[in-house]
């Protein structure tokens, strides 16, 4: 049951018009394709009848007359006295437009408009009445009951349960949920501190034991007694600490799960089905096709795909441009399609789906495709590239010219196209939301535009990097590639460092120079590089290190700051620290300026200023080759020395004969399982202080408890395993310096 208590009758009328106009438009377009579609005709009749009743309730006689005339025509069509051809469909759609225009007016203007447009409404009614008459009258064409204006809402056509919330309410709710999520993550570093305190207690116990052995059996009885008491107190403290750590671990997981569910529910309040933003587009395609003497329909897939409310509003204009282009430039005339062996009616397809944590929206058609030779000639004619350069451009590079402002393949300007306005608007919108757009086309078979967008404007998936002493975020949708580059792969070209990337040369630039931060000493011979930009404008930014992929809650910068160079927004990291989200377009402009002014500095030598730091050793014990190699690569990328063991027995032999700062083990292994390995380590006086982490597919609470009871310091499940969780756990156990070799 919809909550309508706060809505005026005029609000209800607007609600009714919005719902029934959509039903009418959808039904009429279906009838145009198939005049015998009885369900569509019945739906249109119900919608027209409901609109007539709604208009009568609010006293809009013009609206009553328009809806009644539409209903009469539909009844005649149902009784097969008046077939619904294109002209009659056009007339009915004009009626829908008139009613929608009426519903959009403010209340203070509605009466004046109704009086001024009364003559137009009468003209419309006469236009429909001049069509061949039918005998008999609609038995149901009687004044509607006063509740007809809200009948659709009470039947649930607006959804299950609806509450009226302002955008400000939703934003505040999402903001509080975001803060709750960040605060819940604050328990993890606290747990890490507790783990380090536990290690200090173990070290203290070992020191006391060493002191007892140094004193020997001839020590004073008072000293022996004091040492025994101290050891007993340390043992009690360790036991208490172990229990507190278990409780803290449980609290951490519960708080994290609760805050995540709260945030997801708050975020869902911002989401709307894709269908809400595209209901008018089938009509748009139909009308443009008719105005051009073509036949085309729009098929929509993924109508239930959840899309951020603001994203849906921003998509309205770009999708309109793409659909106009598809019909005007892509779909052929009926004669041309017949000659090509195609159906006379062209098909434009609009699809929305979630993939890889992003919103994928595509617009494709089955038309003639883009004439690449004509496009190449237009590029040369407009002096955008020399003929010899244009001849060498790949298809993908050539299609990028279509996004330039003012670029059009049409010689003449029409109401539909030729002004060179459209695709640049699409690209601008996509870049504003930190997305990307691609074109693909096949001559004679059609063209496809693919938009890759963030699921929501309030949350982004980003690659976190460290540049100097600060953390920065690169939106994933704007990154070409993130890679580690060996110094041996760098070549000098015209005095500047470059490297080979996808069959081209890409220049290397130190990120700290662009952002004005202090350079950090290089860690090793490999460079962490983020490739941004496209084709000839691509750069490889050298950062200090990768911090991993994150989901960040975007916080807009204070407007009093104005436009901050190279930065688009702020965000909060897991520990509550501030992360700056980089503006990739602004960053590319800064890079171009540095290059044009000749102010780019060379990369620092890998050995310059670097201090030799001993690398900590980690033993990975797992019988799965894939898991071992994944963990080894992740840990070695953070500067750790990694040795591997293929089962528990080999792991036990390795840990007894060599010094390791950390042991990471699976549970189910041949010869000796992980639980027994942990117990052996804890029972050995020389190894009991060695931190041990269990990484297992077993994710039941009983399995976790068994591992922790055996003496493991950390229990991580492979089902949720990813680089951030493993590396954070390693840092908790053997210190942050492990990730800064």
Q: What does the pLDDT look like over 641-654, one tens digit per residue?
A: 888 888 888 889 88
Q: Which residue has the higher pLDDT, 255 or 441?
A: 441
**What is the predicted pLDDT for the residue at 445?**
92
Where residue 599 falls (left for φ over 0; alpha for ψ -120 to 50; beta otherwise) is alpha
Radius of gyration of the chain (CA): 34
Other CB atoms within 10 Å distance of the CB of residue 189: 16
89 sits in the region (left: phi over 0; alpha: psi -120 to 50; else beta) called alpha
Looking at per-residue confidence, does 335 or 554 come out higher? 335
Q: Which residues contact 183 (CB under 8 A, 6 or more apart)?
A: 259, 576
Q: Is the pLDDT of residue 137 over 60?
A: no
**Higher per-residue pLDDT: 340 or 629:** 340
Q: Using CA atoms, how far apart are residues 513 and 350, in angstroms rounded to an integer?
A: 43
Q: What pLDDT sits at residue 487?
A: 82
Q: Residue 563 has what pLDDT?
A: 72
Distance of CA 606 to the CA centre of its chain: 36
Give the confidence band of 560 by pLDDT, cuts at 50, 70, 90: low
Contact 730, 736 (CB under 8 A): no
Distance CA 332, CA 366 (A): 9
- Give the span between the Cα atoms of 558 and 548, in whole angstroms: 27
Contact 436, 477 (CB under 8 A): yes
**Which CATH class, in words, describes the domain spanning 617-739?**
alpha beta
Residue 625 has pLDDT above 80, yes or no: no
List the single range of 5-19, 85-99, 223-237, 687-701 with lowest mean pLDDT. Answer: 5-19
List all residues 6 or more positions away from 499 whose beta carbon is below 8 Å from its beta carbon.
485, 489, 490, 491, 505, 506, 508, 529, 540
C-alpha dihedral (426, 431, 435, 436), degrees to nearest 10: 60
Indicate if the pLDDT at residue 48 is higher than 80: yes
More confident site: 81 or 289: 289
The maximal CA–CA distance of the chain, rounded, in angstroms, is 124
Structure confidence at residue 522 as a pLDDT band (50, 70, 90):
low
Reported as a single tens digit per residue, the pLDDT across 574-585 is 666 778 889 888
Higher-confidence position of 702 and 601: 702
* pLDDT value for 136: 37
Pick the CATH number of 459-596 from 2.40.50.180, 1.10.510.10, 3.30.300.30, 3.40.50.2300: 2.40.50.180
Residue 305 near residue 355, CB atoms below 8 Å: no
Angle among Cα 654, 657, 660 to the nearest 5 degrees reads 70
Beta-strand pair 459-467/470-475: antiparallel
Rounded mean pLDDT, 667-673: 84
The backbone torsions φ and ψ at residue 356, rounded to the nearest 5 degrees and listed phi first, read 60, 35
Pairing of strands 504-510, 539-543: parallel
Query: Alpha carbon of 720 to those of 387, 698, 713, 724, 726: distances in Å?
Result: 54, 11, 18, 11, 10
pLDDT at 736: 56
417 within 8 A of 325, measured Cβ to Cβ:
yes
Please give the CATH architecture assigned to the domain spanning 9-154.
Up-down Bundle (1.20)
Q: Which of 6-20, 155-169, 296-310, 508-522 is modeled with the greatest confidence?
A: 296-310
Per-residue H/E/C for 275-330: HHHHCCHHHHHHHHHHHCCCCEEEEEECCCCEEEHHHHHHHHHHHHHHHHHHHHHH
Give the model's pLDDT for residue 615.
75
Q: Is 608's pLDDT higher than 50?
A: no
Per the CB < 8 A criterion, the answer to whether 464 and 450 are in contact is no
pLDDT at 575: 62
**Residues ≥6 apart with Cβ < 8 Å to 158:** 2, 15, 19, 152
To the question of domain 273-454 being in CATH 3.30.565.10, the answer is: yes
Higher pLDDT pick, 336 / 538: 336
pLDDT of 6 higher than 60:
no
As a whole number, the mean pLDDT across the chain is 79
pLDDT value, residue 320: 87
Phi-psi map region of 700: left, alpha, beta (phi>0 left; psi -120 to 50 alpha):
beta
Greater pLDDT, 414 or 460: 460
CA distance readout (Å), 385 to 27, 75, 390, 391, 504: 49, 61, 6, 9, 19
Nearest to 644 by CA among 605, 606, 670, 618: 618
User: Measuring CA to CA, which residue among 610, 580, 571, 599 is closest to residue 514?
Assistant: 599
Give the whole-number percent of the chain exceeding pLDDT 90: 12
Residue 551: is it exposed, middle or buried by C-beta count within 10 angstroms (0-12/13-18/19+)? middle
**pLDDT classification of 175: cutoffs 50, 70, 90:** confident
Q: In terms of pLDDT, which residue wins out, 607 or 532?
A: 532
Side-chain-facing half-sphere of 68: CA atoms under 13 Å: 22
Confidence band, pLDDT 50/70/90 cuts, at residue 337: very high
The DSSP secondary-structure symbol of 639 reads T
In tens, the pLDDT along 443-482 reads 999 999 999 888 777 777 888 998 887 889 998 878 888 9
Q: What is the mean pLDDT of residues 178-199?
A: 74
pLDDT grade for 418, boundaries at 50, 70 and 90: very low
412 has a pLDDT exceeding 80? no
249-277 mean pLDDT: 83
Closest of 489, 487, 533, 529 to residue 511, by C-alpha: 529
Query: pLDDT at position 145, please?
Result: 30
735, two tokens: 């210190």
Helix, strand, coil percentages (3-state) for the chain, rounded to 5, are: 50, 20, 30
| Cα 606 to Cα 484: distance, rounded to the nearest angstrom | 14
372/563: higher pLDDT: 372
Q: How many CB atoms lie within 10 A of CB 557?
A: 15
Q: What pLDDT is recorded for position 720?
A: 55
Please tell me what DSSP assigns to residue 699.
-
Is the confidence at residue 730, as pLDDT, over 90? no
Find the mean pLDDT for residues 131-153: 37
- At residue 28, the pLDDT reads 86
Task: Using the predicted structure, report yes or no on whether residue 123 has a pLDDT greater than 50.
Answer: yes
């Amino acid at each position: 049951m919809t909550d309508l208590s706060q809505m005026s009758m005029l609000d209800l009328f607007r609600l009714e018009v919005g719902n029934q106009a959509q039903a009418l438009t959808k039904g009429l377009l279906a009838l145009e394709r198939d005049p015998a579609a009885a369900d569509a005709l019945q739906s249109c009749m119900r919608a027209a009848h409901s609109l007539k009743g709604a208009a009568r309730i609010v006293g809009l006689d013009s609206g009553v007359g328009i809806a009644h005339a539409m209903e009469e025509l539909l009844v005649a069509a149902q009784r097969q006295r008046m077939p619904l051809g294109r002209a009659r469909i056009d007339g009915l759609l004009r009626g829908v437009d008139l009613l929608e225009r009426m519903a959009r007016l403010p209340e203070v203007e509605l009466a004046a408009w109704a009086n001024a447009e009364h003559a137009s409404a009468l003209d419309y009614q006469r236009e429909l009445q001049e069509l061949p008459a039918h005998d008999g009258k609609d038995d149901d064409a009687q004044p509607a009951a006063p509740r007809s204006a809200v009948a659709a809402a009470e039947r649930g056509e607006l959804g299950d349960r609806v509450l009226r919330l302002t955008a400000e309410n939703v934003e505040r709710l999402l903001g509080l949920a975001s803060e709750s999520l960040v605060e819940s993550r604050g328990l993890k570093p606290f747990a890490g501190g507790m783990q380090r305190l536990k290690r200090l207690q173990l070290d203290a116990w070992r020191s006391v034991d060493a002191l007892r052995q140094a004193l020997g059996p001839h020590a004073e009885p008072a000293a022996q007694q004091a040492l025994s008491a101290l050891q007993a107190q340390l043992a009690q403290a360790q036991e208490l600490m172990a229990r507190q750590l278990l409780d803290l671990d449980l609290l951490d997981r519960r708080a994290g799960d609760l805050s995540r569910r709260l945030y997801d529910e708050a975020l869902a309040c911002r989401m709307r089905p894709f269908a809400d933003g595209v209901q008018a587009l089938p009509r748009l395609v139909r009308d443009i096709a008719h105005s051009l003497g073509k036949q085309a329909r729009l098929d929509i897939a993924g109508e239930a795909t959840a899309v951020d409310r603001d994203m849906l509003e921003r998509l309205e204009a770009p999708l309109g441009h793409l659909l106009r282009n598809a019909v005007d430039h892509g779909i052929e005339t009926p004669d041309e399609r017949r000659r090509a062996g195609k159906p006379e009616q062209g098909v434009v397809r609009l699809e929305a789906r979630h993939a890889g944590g992003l919103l994928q929206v595509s617009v494709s058609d089955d038309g003639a495709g883009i004439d690449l030779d004509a496009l190449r000639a237009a590029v040369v004619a407009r002096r955008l590239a020399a003929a010899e350069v244009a001849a060498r451009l790949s298809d993908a590079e050539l299609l990028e010219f279509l996004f330039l402002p003012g670029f059009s393949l049409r010689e003449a300007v029409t109401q539909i196209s030729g002004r060179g306005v459209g695709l640049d608007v699409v690209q601008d919108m996509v870049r504003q939301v930190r997305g990307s757009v691609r074109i693909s086309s096949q001559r004679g078979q059609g063209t496809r535009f693919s938009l890759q967008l963030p699921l929501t404007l309030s949350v982004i998936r980003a690659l976190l990097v460290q540049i100097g002493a600060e953390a920065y975020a690169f939106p994933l949708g704007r990154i070409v590639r993130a890679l580690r580059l060996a110094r041996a792969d760098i070549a000098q070209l015209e005095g500047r460092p470059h490297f080979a990337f996808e069959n081209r040369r890409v220049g290397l630039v130190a990120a700290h120079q662009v952002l004005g931060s202090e350079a950090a000493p290089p860690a090793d011979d490999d460079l962490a590089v983020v490739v941004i930009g496209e084709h000839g404008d691509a750069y490889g930014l050298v950062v200090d290190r990768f911090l991993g992929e994150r989901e960040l809650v975007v916080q807009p910068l204070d407007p009093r700051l104005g436009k901050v160079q190279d930065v688009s927004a702020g965000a909060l990291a897991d520990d509550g620290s501030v992360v700056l989200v980089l503006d990739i377009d602004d960053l590319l402009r800064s890079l171009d300026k540095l290059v044009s002014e000749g102010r780019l500095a060379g990369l620092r030598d890998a050995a310059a200023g670097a201090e030799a730091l001993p690398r900590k050793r980690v033993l990975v014990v797992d019988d799965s080759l894939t898991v071992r190699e994944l963990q080894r690569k992740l840990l070695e990328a953070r500067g750790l020395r990694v040795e591997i063991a293929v089962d528990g027995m080999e792991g036990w032999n390795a840990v007894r004969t060599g010094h390791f700062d950390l042991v990471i083990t699976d549970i189910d292994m041949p010869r000796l399982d992980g639980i027994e390995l942990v117990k052996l380590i804890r029972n050995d006086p020389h190894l009991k202080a060695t931190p041990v982490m269990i990484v297992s597919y077993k994710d039941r609470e009983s399995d976790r408890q068994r591992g922790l009871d055996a003496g493991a310091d950390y229990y991580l499940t492979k089902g949720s395993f990813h680089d951030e969780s493993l590396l954070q756990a390693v840092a908790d156990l053997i210190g942050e310096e492990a990730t800064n070799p």
